[in-house]
Structure 1
Amino acid sequence: MPVPDSFKEGLASGWKTYNGSRLEQDLTLEADVAIIGSGAGGGTTAEILSQAGFKVLLIEEGPLKTSSDFKMQEPEAYGELYQEGMGRMSKDGAITIMQGRAVGGTTLVNWTSSFRTPDGTLQHWADEYGVKGHGVAEMAPWFARMEERLGVAPWALPPNANNEVIRRGCDKLGLHWKVIPRNVRGCWNLGYCGMGCPTNAKQSMLVTTIPQALNHGGELLYLARAQRLLLSGDQVSGIECVGMDERCVQPNGRKILVKAKHYVLAGGGINSPALLMRSAAPDPHQRTGQRTFLHVVNFSAALFDEVINPFYGAPQSIYSDHFQWDDGISGRMSYKLEVPPLQPAITATLLGRFGVDNALRMEQLPHTNVMLALMRDGFHPDSAVGKVELRGDGSPVLDYQMTDYTWDGIRRAYHTMAEIQFAAGAKAVLPLHADADYVPTLAKARELIDNLSLEIYRTRLGCAHVMGGCGMSEDPKLGVTDSLGRHHQLRNLSIHDGSLFPTSIGANPQLSIYGLTAQLASQLAERLAGGK
């Protein structure tokens, strides 16, 4: 029996939406609040403001795809649901950047891991960046509210074999591990979360906050790229958008002008600062696009006699923070340990090599585990850091410069992952690096890892968490916005997304964005209602 497509049912009931690829003429739209981006920040903001009685307009560059469109096929999903067709890279091409680009944003394609912002991170922001109102006690009720709203709870089923490697290896070595909270309800345990949830179990913005906003009179414009903000003095007077073709590759010539009383940027850590830069928004202290972080990750593969089938089951259900804070908040580079799901196309890229070598590695996929180490960047002055730049056509690119400090964390993480994998029973381990091959013992792995030349292109690097670029601070010299997400120079512009983070957070960021933007949107609703 097919699963009902709740979003299409809502469309049939009369929700007001505009498809930028099918406009027959230019368009002008008006709203109380225009929100650019429909992911964790934009969707949460839209629900809260619409429930408070404001007419909201959500603007999304990507397409509208719903549960009946999700076929668990990599070729279609990556091209339709990800920024640059899953081809977004750092400026030097060394780091793959996985970000969603469709109605629902990255919440549509993430792996559902949901963590509160670590206490030490919140304290660091207050101490180092003058952030106010977001301490542990102040944020706790907002996290609780969004956990309840989105069904966030520790995964109750046994971990799949890919995640079991972390649990078993950590137990053998006496290392800390825990179960990951996931934002799902009635999950079928398919394992294809990165391609959109065909059962609507994942509580993404597509099935939660966006429908609620549309039910309360909100409107949705999709396949429309926000090109620039129109500025008048210290205010935004409008947004110039362009319609995109159905594949979201090229503008189709249609123009959409959006007029609102208040504007909210929620495009994420690359797109939000890029829009400000394209708009020549005031930036007297040169903060826009600076200090953008990735939680850059490296990987380690392992072969087991047992069947792992790492493409089935909840993608992430076990993690270890044993090494995440082992040298204090600003000590040596530290990292969180998780696993990625391993569908064939993405795995072929991860495992590397070409031709017969790659085919032989892929032949062993059913017996392969891969671990990842998520680097906590931004807490130390020598950490790798990124900055958003504009290409000649105005599109954004992130220049992320690796450092010796970060490479040290990468090497130690290779050692840690190999130790855990062998402790869990692996018969061979492969650090995912161009110069590495499978080795059968921990001693050989240690020798191999110590002798690897850690450099871009040779070391396989990726990321799925983009943070910063519009950091918040009460001091305009340190941040683009204040602690309420209000742009320091533009009175009717707020930012509600992960670009507000002054550093990375050291955990998968979606719940941090949900909690923070729920707080900021609620405060914004009060200010707008009071006419302040």
Structure 2
Amino acid sequence: MKGKQSHARLRKSWEKKNYDRQLLSSSEMESLISICETFFPPLDPPSKLDHHDQINNSIKYFFQSSASQKPIPNEVAEVMKDRGLVEAVILVRVVLWLISTRLGTLLLCGFLCFGKEWPYITKFSHLPIERRERILKNWSSHRFFSPLRLVFYFLKSLCLYFCFSLVDDHAHNPAWEAIDYKPDTTNSKAINQERPLENGIIETFYETPTTLLQSLTSKGLSVTEDHIDNLYRIKCDVVIVGSGCGGGVAAAILAGAGQKVVVLEKGNYYTAPDYSSLEGPSMDELLEKGGMIPTTDGAVMLLAGSTVGGGTAVNWSAALNTPDPVLKEWSEEHGLSLFGSPQYKFAMQSVTQRLGVTTECVKEGFQNQVLRKGCENLGLEADRVPRNSSESHYCGSCYYGCRSADKQGTDVTWLVDAVNLGAVIITGCKAEKLRLVKHGRRRENRCIGVVARSLNNEIKRELQIEAKVTISACGSLRTPPLLMSSGLRNKKIGKNLHLHPSLMVWGYFPPQGPTSEFEGKSYEGGLITSAHRVILDQRPNSMPRALIETPALGPAACAALSPWESGNDIKKRMLRYSRTAHLFVMVRDKGSGEVKSERRISYELTQEDRENMTAGLRRALKILIAAGAVEVGTYRSDGQRIECIGKNEEEIEEFLGSVSATKGPMAACFWAVYCTAHQMGSCRMSKRENEGAVDENGESWEAEGLFVCDGSVLPSAVGVNPMITIQSTAYCIAKKLAESLKKGEFNF
């Protein structure tokens, strides 16, 4: 019953919003509406489009629709208020206010605001759309005033995202028919599936102060009410913050060792019948900040799961073992013997077996067909990617939650094991700080638990969990802020953040003609079933310069990331959506960043990273061209692309030579936003205290009894999708911790 309620809430929260508490003034809102209209304007339908026999009513409506229509501008303003960095919101508001005045429009828009009649200067919202387009285009490539570029990209991304993600009461968006997008919103095949965590889960969203106490005690927890400090005191053996790759594995191992385990999860619990396959609602419910976590300079957009199962509930299924060269580097150069040990090899075997990993694939989706064919035509190797799903799994929306319950995330594997062994999972509950006391036996401090609060506003009392051992497993973006806000001072906490930065390229394959051999649509089929490694040299066991894989890209994300040259161009570009194959290039970054707080993340690539990215982008474009794309391009903001038909080899090579991710005059003006769903290393494991945040056992150098068990402990970037690496590392940490608990090393 709760699953059905949560699904209804997911849909309702998106479709019915109250905009009474608007962030912007009326003049700022007028400017925002006019900008939205410029990004996606009402246009006369063309008489003809490529590979369309006729302009049907859906395409006519698509061209005539505008982003100035409610609720798109309201949603943009709402997201600014709820998720934007303070300085970014201030900057946008200043620009919106300025262009609501004639003088401000003159200052930011130049001669394009001049008219022939008094008062000769026209404010932005009263200018013709053609002029507004030219102004926004100038902002997007402004050489000397980068704040205008930031405002352009911020508003462009949000506006176009909501054009394609908002749905009506029937879970439909009118633009979808025109772009040939048909998400599977029918009843899940697993509609009658039982909720596998039901016996061990407490969903605070549905609880009241009275029922919460009953639910906690009914799960076998020792709970007392503290009326003076207004909190619940809960006793257990192990408390784990986070239920993803690391937390799920640790919960199963430690519960299996006879420990009473409590898992705290900030997100909510969904099962296959709850998932809607709707891009906007799913991103909003299943990802941290709706998938909109930018670095402080806006150059990188980060995706992180925020639900039971964490990233494993929304990732793209790739289940690759830690590469041997990486294990050698970590064991020899970093001095971490764990990664060269038989125990780690055994852990990888155990993890892949529990996840049911297979390299077989009965049928590949459109994008993976293109990648494999392009590699074959070039004489390049296309690897089969192991996945934590069955060989017949053809779900194209697993990143919105797997509706077939086939993908084996921690929510249907390790956490089920843990619950069956007595573990308790408390959802909708955010850890606020760790409880530290001075003078541990081996460390300066000792951790004795965690203080958390329910995100249900009706529950006013905090939860104070007292435990022998506390594990932070809330990921590389959230573990450092939790440790720092609790008073830990190790200077390596938050540092050494690696992201596997990625850029995309695209190729258009019309549904008629030679490219019709590729079956399906861009959003159908297994997400990553093929990959190509861009090899630096032919030395055995060398790491590739870049890894080329296929992304999961809904229409809203595609529009938000796409270059914008004009309203007409973005509409024509999106009409090709279902037959546009995308490839993303991922590099094992030498550069790094820092997590300063939950909302402040900085990051910088090295020149070597950019050179490797350039090599990967050029190779990916070659693959698309070899597969038969009629047009290919990058996501650079100036719309860099080339029509392939009729071009000779010299012209193609000249175009490929212009593709670059390195810094330079062009990069300053025509930049693309990097994306990443892999965060690693921000509390790295180290041999010595001055080199990392935790020791080789995963225990904090500053506080005994405090362990970190997520991707943040990895010494550097993995170079491949890190799910198996994180789970294997967590497996080793938890196994050793279970032995220590058995010996009584962490008693109260």
Q: State TM-score, norm by structure 2.
A: 0.66
Give 1 or 2: higher helix fraction.
Answer: 2
Partner of 2:649: none
Unpaired runs of at least 5, structure 1: 379-383
Question: Cα distance 1:125–1:229, how it changes in 2: closer, same or farther (>3 A)?
Answer: same
Q: Which moved more, 1:360-369 or 1:438-447?
A: 438-447
The reply on whether 1:3 has 2:190 as its aligned counterpart is yes
Equivalences for residues 356-375 of structure 1 within 5 A: 356-375=568-587
Distance in 2 (CA, whole Å) between partners of 1:28 and 1:473 is: 34
Q: Is the 8 A contact 1:92 1:399 kept in 2?
A: yes
Per-residue displacement from partner, 1:470-528 (whole Å, max 9, x unpaired)? 11111111111111211122110111111011110000000111111112111111111
Equivalences for residues 466-477 of structure 1 within 5 A: 466-477=679-690
Partner of 2:470: 263
Distance in 1 (CA, whole Å) between partners of 2:209 and 2:318 is: 41
Q: Is the 8 A contact 1:151 1:184 kept in 2?
A: yes
Corresponding residue SS for 1:8: coil
One-letter amino acid matched to 2:744: G
Compare relative contact order (CA 8 Å, sep 6+) and give the higher one, 1 or 2: 1
Partner of 2:437: 232
The reply on whether 1:120 has 2:307 as its aligned counterpart is no
One-letter amino acid matched to 2:248: G
1:127 Cα deviation from its structure 2 partner? 2.5
Partner of 1:296: 501
1:413 Cα deviation from its structure 2 partner? 2.0
One-letter amino acid matched to 2:190: V
1:405 Cα deviation from its structure 2 partner? 2.8
One-letter amino acid matched to 1:417: A
Distance in 2 (CA, whole Å) between partners of 1:148 and 1:66 is: 22
Corresponding residue SS for 1:269: coil
1:416 Cα deviation from its structure 2 partner? 1.2
1:107 Cα deviation from its structure 2 partner? 0.4
The reply on whether 1:449 has 2:662 as its aligned counterpart is no
Partner of 2:109: none
State the percentage of identical aligned residues: 27
Equivalences for residues 24-35 of structure 1 within 5 A: 24=209, 26-35=231-240
Partner of 1:489: 702
Partner of 2:220: none
Give 1 or 2: higher strand fraction.
Answer: 1
Per-residue displacement from partner, 1:121-146 (whole Å, max 9, x unpaired)? 11111222221221164422111111
1:310 Cα deviation from its structure 2 partner? 1.2
Q: Which moved more, 1:210-219 or 1:53-62?
A: 210-219
Corresponding residue SS for 2:195: helix
The reply on whether 1:413 has 2:598 as its aligned counterpart is no
Partner of 1:70: 275
Per-residue displacement from partner, 1:51-103 (whole Å, max 9, x unpaired)? 11111000011112221110111011000000111111112122110110011
Q: Is the 8 A contact 1:226 1:240 kept in 2?
A: yes
Question: Cα distance 1:7–1:127, how it changes in 2: closer, same or farther (>3 A)?
Answer: farther
Q: 1:341 aligns with which of 552, 555, 562?
A: 552
Partner of 1:398: 601
Question: Cα distance 1:500–1:437, how it changes in 2: closer, same or farther (>3 A)?
Answer: same
Distance in 2 (CA, whole Å) between partners of 1:265 and 1:197 is: 26
Tell which structure's C-alpha radius of gyration is larger: 2
Partner of 1:514: 727
Corresponding residue SS for 1:454: helix
Distance in 1 (CA, whole Å) between partners of 2:454 and 2:613 is: 42
Distance in 1 (CA, whole Å) between partners of 2:486 and 2:670 is: 34
One-letter amino acid matched to 1:19: T
Equivalences for residues 35-114 of structure 1 within 5 A: 35-114=240-319
Partner of 2:147: none
Distance in 2 (CA, whole Å) between partners of 1:131 and 1:81 is: 34
1:34 Cα deviation from its structure 2 partner? 0.2
Q: 1:464 aligns with which of 664, 677, 701?
A: 677
Distance in 1 (CA, whole Å) between partners of 2:709 and 2:389 is: 23
Question: Cα distance 1:18–1:440, how it changes in 2: closer, same or farther (>3 A)?
Answer: closer
Q: Which moved more, 1:114-123 or 1:134-143?
A: 134-143
Corresponding residue SS for 2:367: helix
One-letter amino acid matched to 2:659: I
Partner of 1:432: 635
1:295 Cα deviation from its structure 2 partner? 0.1
One-letter amino acid matched to 1:365: Y
1:237 Cα deviation from its structure 2 partner? 2.0
Q: Is the 8 A contact 2:507 2:631 kept in 1?
A: yes
Provide the alpha-carbon RMSD of the alignment: 2.4
Question: Cα distance 1:118–1:186, how it changes in 2: closer, same or farther (>3 A)?
Answer: closer
Partner of 2:202: 17
Question: Cα distance 1:53–1:374, how it changes in 2: closer, same or farther (>3 A)?
Answer: same
Question: Cα distance 1:319–1:455, how it changes in 2: closer, same or farther (>3 A)?
Answer: farther
One-letter amino acid matched to 1:262: V
Partner of 1:381: none
Per-residue displacement from partner, 1:406-463 (whole Å, max 9, x unpaired)? 2222222221111111111111111111023330242352243159823597213100
Corresponding residue SS for 2:641: coil
Corresponding residue SS for 2:332: helix
The reply on whether 1:350 has 2:561 as its aligned counterpart is yes
Question: Cα distance 1:179–1:242, how it changes in 2: closer, same or farther (>3 A)?
Answer: same
One-letter amino acid matched to 2:527: P
Q: Is the 8 A contact 1:177 1:322 kept in 2?
A: no
Q: Is the 8 A contact 1:15 1:219 kept in 2?
A: yes
Equivalences for residues 213-252 of structure 1 within 5 A: 213-233=418-438, 234-245=445-456
Question: Cα distance 1:182–1:373, how it changes in 2: closer, same or farther (>3 A)?
Answer: same
1:27 Cα deviation from its structure 2 partner? 2.7
- Number of aligned residue pairs: give it: 514
Partner of 2:744: 531
One-letter amino acid matched to 1:243: S
Q: Is the 8 A contact 1:5 1:66 kept in 2?
A: no
Question: Cα distance 1:69–1:288, how it changes in 2: closer, same or farther (>3 A)?
Answer: same
